Chains A and B, each alone.
Chain A
Amino acid sequence: MQARFDIAVIGGGVVGLAVLRRFAMVGLKCVLLERGADILSGASKGNSALLHTGFDAPLRSLEIRCMRTGYKEYFNIRDKLNLPLVESSGLVVAWTPDELAALPAIVEKAHKNGVTDARQISAIELRLKEPNLAKSALGAVLVPGEHIIDAWSAPLAYAHQALAHGAAIMRSAEVTNGDFSKGIWQLQTVQGAITARIVVNAAGNYGDFVEAIARPSPFTIKPRKGQFVVFDKPAYKLARAIVLPVPTARTKGIVVFRTAFGNLAVGPTAEDQDDRELATCDREALLQLKARAIEILPALANIDVTANYSGLRPATEHKDYVIEALADRNWITIGGIRSTGLTAALGIAEYVSALYGKNFGELPKKPSKSVWTPVPNLTEDRIRPYMKGGEIICHCELVTRGEITAALDGPLPARDMGGLKRRTRATMGRCQGFYCSANIAAIAKGHFDAKP
């Protein structure tokens, strides 16, 4: 590609895609460079898929600021993009007297963070709300605005809307180096050179490596692994709210939550590792997660496990996000977006566009007409395609042939089996592909580089 772009975003995770969308929608000429075979193949692949209020985020942090604006914008655009939202609420449950004593401080912090409807509830009110919760629960903080979404629909919608506004998305396009001279970046990618006026580093777990192209990185990524166990569909009915523990300094702890696909999941663990890419599952950890979930919801003891997964969050040595513009390098850094990126992405994009205005000149005025690119619905609480007919290919998740062929087509087709799963839910159910994986491989034949 010889054309010069205004903006090159490095990283096709939820943050990079939200930033791409933001700049594309004001008419800038944008490109996104993703190293994976498909977008959403790094940190954005395996998370808890929750839309957070930010009630427990660090006070006055950049994180809480981006979460709050991101949360609001999600609600503003959600109808137009058909984004998922399963109303749920969160409950920070105290299981010990010490934890019970810590609840008022959680409420106070929530209020300071602008989550003014958070309140403490008694053990009795908790039992009425969540009758399946273990009887040893002593009380909880109720956070009505915590909700369930899915991890992929929103970022896919951002990608599609960016494309509709003229952005380009290049996959399998790892950035290996870059040169900045006379106000222009020349980025070397495995697919050739890309020139752009401004580079945005949204490289997630590779953020510090990419940052080193512009300067010695002010942060080091220390990937933090989170493993999850997903229970079969009957578990969905066992808890309406997202059940959180009283957090510690290090992690928000193990959460039990319904999923938008009609399951119930438990996780994540928090394990530091060096590998930037490989998120293994580990039997001992999965057994512990399962046991913890059963302690919280005893009825889970009789429900099968459907799936498990593992994701890497780009943690750094800093408590907060690192988002800054280097005015003299035409560079914007977005680093250390650990576990709240799905919620904060739209807020981060807004913050980044403000940074652009401050450092690189006024942004073009938003055109009066925006193109909206609604994504197909994947969630259980709304009409799904199979309800209108069609041939069901994935029986466990009720995915139709039409959904699969659509995901293999269009402006941003799935590039590997993982991408197809993320776009359709196919093979993600209890049989994990026993019935349908061969049929899906046959439908997808010729669409992927890798073997089925």
Chain B
Amino acid sequence: MPNHDVIIIGGGPTGLSAARALVDLGISDVVVLEREAEAGGIPRHCGHLGFGWQSHKRFWTGPRYAAELRKSTRFLDIRTSATVLELGNDGTVRIQNNSGISELKAKQILIATGTRETPRAARLVSGTRPQGVMNTGALQQHVYFHGNKPFSRPVIIGSEWVSFSAILTCRHLGIRPAAMIEENATISAPRPGDLVARFVFGVPVRTSTKLLNIVGRSNVEAIEIEHQNKREQIICDGVIFTGLFKPEKALLPMGELPESITLAGNVLEPLKTSGECWQQGRIAAEKIAARLL
């Protein structure tokens, strides 16, 4: 079985930055495994501006940032469409790719599998199950990858940074969300985000408001909300569940992590900007290099 110095699982900002940093530190036998057909991670489908400041002192769109990350690692062994199925405590990695299942081994493994938003199901939301209910990540892919317009007047559930990304994605489609719904008394993103949403994007922000119910047979027709013990309906044709990020930790072995496995980026602590992930990747690389050298 081929034995490498480092295998990095996940080719997003954390994984790519770690790979690059490892090479810069003199460790060149590094393999990055990315399950999508293209490395770059979440920024690939964040079509709006706001990426690259921490790493490159630039103000890029997500796809541009992802492309720059790929460029900085283009001479590295990055294997796309490679899904890691299982991780052994001894450094073996079971991989699926186009030709079947194989195994690789490494002295050190970096898990940089990132994060995803909590979907409707895990939030245990009442109501019917019509089409047009999705997370921001799925919406972005619909819009920026495939040019789809899944709805024209959605509501946004949540008010984190990513919720504003959902507004921007809607704006790219030329549609205006019917409302942003936040259960807490203030929005999760820093103020004056609520004012920006309302006055720049024309999206009413409803704080202290609970989503009760999704209504609609085949497509979303409305949501029911509760505010100060009063119920009302908001007519809409889609629901975007934003944020409540969960680390993508399915590969983590049970129990304590062995010395040979390191975690970095969003899988370690959810909801970081891609810039922070990039920095964490570098720190993880230093740690791993110190173990190897």
Contacts and interface: CB of A to CB of B under 8 A. Distances in A.
Nearest to B37: A391
A281 B97 CA distance: 37
A278 interface: yes
A438 B135 contact: no
B127 A434 contact: no
Interface string B166-206: 00000000000000000000000000000000000000000
A388 B146 contact: no
B128 A278 contact: yes
Most interface-central of B35, B85, B99, B119 (chain A CB within 10 A): B119
Contacts of A290: 124
B120 A432 contact: yes
Given A433-B135, A437-B141, 5 more contacts: A284-B126, A391-B37, A391-B81, A417-B131, A432-B122
Contacts of A247: none
B58 interface: no
Contacts of B98: 389-391
27 contacts: A277-B217, A280-B126, A280-B128, A282-B126, A287-B124, A290-B124, A306-B122, A386-B83, A389-B97, A389-B101, A392-B83, A430-B122, A431-B119, A432-B121, A433-B119, A433-B135, A435-B36, A437-B142, A438-B142, A439-B145, A441-B142, A442-B145, A442-B148, A450-B131, A451-B132, A452-B131, A452-B142
B134 A283 contact: no
Contacts of B37: 391
Interface in A411-452: 417, 430-435, 437-439, 441-442, 450-452
A286 B138 CA distance: 25
B270 interface: no
A16 to B, nearest CB: 22
Contacts of A438: 138, 141-142, 145-146, 148
Interface string A285-318: 0110010000000000000111111100000000
A388 B100 contact: yes
7 A-B pairs with least C-beta separation: A438-B141, A432-B119, A389-B100, A438-B142, A283-B126, A286-B124, A307-B121
B219 interface: yes
A194 to B, nearest CB: 25
A400 to B, nearest CB: 9
A381 to B, nearest CB: 16
Contacts of A284: 126
Contacts of B218: 450
Nearest to A277: B217
A391 to B, nearest CB: 6
A387 interface: yes
Contact of B116 (A398, A435, A441, A442): A435
Nearest to A278: B128
B246 interface: yes
Interface of A: 229, 233, 277-284, 286-287, 290, 304-310, 386-392, 395-396, 398, 417, 430-435, 437-439, 441-442, 450-452
A223 to B, nearest CB: 14
Contacts of B119: 431-434
Contact of A389 (B99, B132, B134): B99
Contacts of B120: 432
A304 to B, nearest CB: 6
Given A438-B148, A441-B148, A281 B129 contact: yes
Nearest to B146: A442
Contacts of B116: 431, 434-435
A131 to B, nearest CB: 16
A233 B251 CA distance: 11
Most interface-central of B132, B138, B250 (chain A CB within 10 A): B138
A434 B242 CA distance: 11
Contacts of B97: 389
Most interface-central of A277, A438, A441 (chain B CB within 10 A): A438
A224 B214 CA distance: 21
B137 A233 contact: no
B160 interface: no
A152 B36 CA distance: 29
A392 B33 CA distance: 14
B35 A392 contact: yes
A282 B214 CA distance: 10
A305 B120 CA distance: 10
A281 B148 contact: no
A305 B124 CA distance: 9
Nearest to A391: B81
Contacts of B128: 278-280
Contact of B122 (A304, A309, A387, A452): A304
B96 interface: yes
A441 B146 contact: yes
A280 B146 contact: no
Contacts of B150: 451-452
A304 B246 contact: yes
Nearest to B254: A234
Contacts of A395: 35, 83
A322 B146 CA distance: 50
A387 B101 contact: yes
A330 B154 CA distance: 51
B125 interface: yes
Given A305-B121, A387-B101, A434 B148 contact: no
Given A451-B131, A451-B132, A434 B138 contact: yes
Given A305-B124, A306-B121, A391-B81, A430 B99 contact: no
Given A278-B217, A438-B146, A386 B121 contact: no
Nearest to B99: A389
A448 to B, nearest CB: 10
